[in-house]
Structure 1
Amino acid sequence: MRDKPTLRIPFGILGLLICLTVYILLVAKAVDQIAAWPVLVQTVIYIVLGTIWLLPLKRFLVWMETGSWRIPPGK
């Protein structure tokens, strides 16, 4: 646990919101192209696109809490 409050958490939340907004806009821009594909392919693509943003989230949250990008061993 932290002893003192830091600006990492507010900046981290703002950074996360900005990154997610950019990601959402990129996906929304690709919707017209994806709509032309078969429904089953669209389903797979949207499942992948809907979960891919979670990949960097753990490291991002660790940085917000600890200040280090490395995930501590055993976590």
Structure 2
Amino acid sequence: MNPSWRKPAGMFAILALILVWVVLIASFAGTISQLHWTLQAIVYLVTGIVWILPLKPLLRWMELGTWR
């Protein structure tokens, strides 16, 4: 069985996704820091979970070679 190129490519795509998401959220840090601490916690909790959503199709593609 030959190793697939999709797994290393997917790994780099996941790392790129994390990097882009961190930079995006960090760019709003000034705005978020002006919120009440409970709202800040909710914003960071939600944004900490939302980045996971695109991973399911990406992981499926890495494993099966299809997006569906």
User: With structure 1 as the length reference, what TM-score do the two structures score?
Assistant: 0.84
- Partners of 1:46 and 1:40 lie apart in 2 by 10
Instruction: List 4+ stretches of structure 1 deviating above 4 A.
Output: none
Count residues with an aligned counterpart: 68
Give per-residue Cα distances to partners, 1:1-38, cap 9 Å, x unaligned.
xx431100001101111111011011111111100011
3-state DSSP of counterpart to 1:69: coil
CA RMSD of superposed structures (Å)? 0.9
Instruction: Among all aligned residue pairs of Structure 1 and Structure 2, give the percentage whose two residues are the same amino acid.
Output: 37
Unaligned runs of 5+ in 2: none
* Structure with greater helix share of residues: 2
Q: Which has the larger radius of gyration?
A: 1
